[in-house]
A and B are shown apart, each in its own frame.
Chain A
Amino acid sequence: MSLTLVQVIAGGLLLGAVYALFSSGLTLIWGMMNVINFAHGDFVMLGMYVAFLVWTLMGAGPAAAVPIAALVLATLGIVCYFALIRHVMRGPMLAQILGTFGLALLLRYSALWYFGANFRTLPENLVGGTLQFGTIRIESSRLLAGVVALLVTAGLHLILTRTALGSRMLAVAEDAAAAELMGIRPDRMQATAWALAAGATGIAGALIANFFYVAPTVGETLGLVAFVTVALGGFGSVPGALVAGLLIGVVESVSAYAIGAVYKDIVVYALFVLALWLRPQGLLGKA
């Protein structure tokens, strides 16, 4: 195995950790209330623009951008939940898909209208330069993104499995009526899930913005990556999203390296279609 390949795989793992982070929000919402948020990628896009604004207005880097993006997006998540989601989730599936799809268009094209279609980038050395680990060289922005993403994903998983809040949320996911009889307010738990999920996308967006172009349509691409990750990992499973995210990051990097950057998305979607054929419940999902 050549050194370049090791380097490519390391890069893929770091990118995959970020994929896992924003996909875990999507999988959380799906697991909690059987809603697929088609606007998920556009939440990430907004997180990226928050980081961009934090830099242009305050001249600050990710240390400020990440918490601000998390807060802004979590608030947006709560607003979306109360204004739209809690109404459409009782309706037919068409209403859910329409509702979140409409939200996606609304966010994407509001951003296009406001920020323009130009690709923007944050200054390259906002986060350090390049680090050398033995023979592997890694940009520190990617390393930061990967490590923070891993920590936040793990934190999300711990919140769900180890805290009282997590138990209450899972209780609502299992049977909202029974949970309500136990004194848990389903509305509040579902709103919390939206806040956590959207906050996670905000963090992911603010981290990605340090090494990725910022554009209004970037949410379309990232949203599709999140769908593939969630479907591959198993709907509702945060560890599944982590495994699938890392896998997709590596597959993407290796195929970009081995057969060309144009083909990396083709390989990822083909993998997804194949997974739907062979293991529709996902890698770590229950049948």
Chain B
Amino acid sequence: MKRMVWPMVVPAIALALAVALAYPLVLTTPFQQRLGALVLLYAIGASAWNIVGGYAGQISVGHAVFFGCGAYGALASYQHLGLPPIAGLPIGVAVSVLIAAIIGVPTLRLSGHYFSMATIAVAELVRLVVSDTEWLGGAQGLSGPPVPRTVLDLSFISAVPYYYLFLAVLAAVLAVTWQMERSRIGFYLRAIRDSERAARSLGVAAPRYKLCAFMLSAALTAVAGALYAVMFGFIDPESGLGILISVKMLIMAALGGAGLLFGPLVGAAILVPLEEISNNLLGGNGAGLTFVVYGAIIVVIARFQPGGILGPITVLLRRHQAPQRAASPPVGA
């Protein structure tokens, strides 16, 4: 069955990759290049969210806390240890995974709403605590190196190096997701999402697999946060831990298609330009209006197309395969 998909999917992915590689060479204004880098950065975050929110069906509304761990890990290790910001990545990832375990162990045994509420509350708690911690810059936030000391500081004026860096990381995140999707844990997660009771009755240790997905998702989200801190060289409680960060990840994944490999990327490719361009056109007053549009889009997706934009396309693709599948039953797939 998997082989049947190849003839359609391989050229599509190759084409998308070619477009992605050529993008900053064809569209050369700083705005366009920065936009491209931002799309990829948010796609990394949304793809990370997708692992727990899309595949496992556990809706986290507090992923900003993991994003913030990565971002603060990076800039705190510069501020206090003088290391290049990216060297703080492992610390951010470790703290992220720890927090995921603290939230996940009690709440993933309960119904999904508890998990959503717990994530939102913990994110808010961490934001308040960080706002009040001098060591982490308090409400003022932390800055990265003002001028790059070595190339390891990853501080560039052009957005192009960031673009390719983010593209590589996104490819890695998608590869991890794809590998997970096809492995035993991927099947378990989808079974849990569709009916946890049924999955449990077949002996799937649901809480454990959900926790694994959550910790993996948290770790990858911390990577996105660290990359953000490296690119912007600044982080404060609002930009690193604010509830809008969580919301953006959730919305991008859901708009493109939650639980689909390329869903978050598609969502980011639509929403990031929408936000950047409308902010550019409307100026400072535009921020409110942007989120009015955001809200309206989300309501419309939820109401008419909860599977996201890629949802119906995927259904069509599957339907297309169905007769072939019947002709040659899958062997050990």
Contact = CB atoms under 8 A, between A and B. Distances in A.
B121 A224 contact: yes
A94 B299 contact: no
Contact of B114 (A94, A105, A231, A263): A231
B291 A105 contact: yes
Interface stretch (B180-188, B203-211, B220-228, B301-309): B301-309
A94 B116 contact: no
Given A87-B303, A93-B59, A101-B247, A110 B292 contact: yes
A88 B250 CA distance: 17
B291 A227 contact: no
Contacts of A101: 61, 247, 250-251, 298
B308 to A, nearest CB: 9
A104 B295 CA distance: 7
Nearest to A224: B124
B128 interface: yes
A88 B303 contact: yes
B117 A36 contact: yes
A220 B125 CA distance: 14
Contacts of A117: 288
Interface string A251-287: 0000000000011011001101100110010000000
Interface residues of B, number: 44
B247 A105 contact: yes
A108 B291 contact: yes
Interface string B259-293: 00000000000000000000000000100111110
A266 B303 contact: no
B117 A105 contact: no
Contacts of B59: 93-94, 97
A159 interface: no
Interface string B209-247: 000000000000000000000000000000000010001
A104 B112 CA distance: 20
A216 B248 CA distance: 19
A97 to B, nearest CB: 5
Contacts of A277: 106
Contacts of B300: 102
A113 interface: yes
A88 B299 CA distance: 10
A263 B117 CA distance: 21
B57 interface: yes
A113 B292 contact: yes
A11 B100 CA distance: 36
A29 to B, nearest CB: 12
A93 B112 contact: yes
Interface string B119-141: 01110110011001000000000
A128 interface: no
Interface string B24-61: 00000000000000000000000000000100010101
Given A88-B303, A106-B296, A112-B288, A98 B124 contact: no
Given A84-B302, A105-B247, A112-B288, A269 B128 contact: yes
Given A109-B295, A113-B292, A98 B301 contact: yes
Contacts of B298: 98-99, 101-102, 105
B299 to A, nearest CB: 4
B113 A266 contact: no
Given A84-B303, A112-B288, A266-B129, A102 B296 contact: yes
Nearest to B112: A93
A200 B132 CA distance: 34
Contacts of B23: none
Given A227-B120, A270-B125, A280-B106, A97 B292 contact: no
A95 interface: yes
B299 A106 contact: yes
A134 interface: no
B106 A276 contact: yes
B237 to A, nearest CB: 13
Contacts of A83: 303
Interface string A29-43: 010001010100000
24 contacts: A36-B113, A88-B302, A88-B303, A93-B112, A94-B258, A94-B306, A97-B59, A99-B299, A99-B302, A102-B298, A102-B300, A104-B295, A107-B295, A109-B292, A113-B292, A117-B288, A220-B243, A266-B125, A269-B121, A269-B122, A269-B128, A272-B121, A276-B106, A280-B106
Interface of B: 53, 57, 59, 61, 106-107, 110, 112-114, 116-118, 120-122, 124-125, 128-129, 132, 243, 247, 250-251, 254, 258, 285, 288-292, 294-303, 306
Closest 3 CB pairs of A and B: A102-B298, A106-B295, A105-B295
Given A94-B59, A99-B298, A102-B300, 18 more contacts: A83-B303, A84-B299, A84-B302, A87-B303, A92-B57, A93-B112, A95-B306, A98-B306, A99-B303, A101-B247, A102-B294, A102-B299, A103-B299, A105-B247, A105-B294, A216-B288, A269-B125, A269-B128
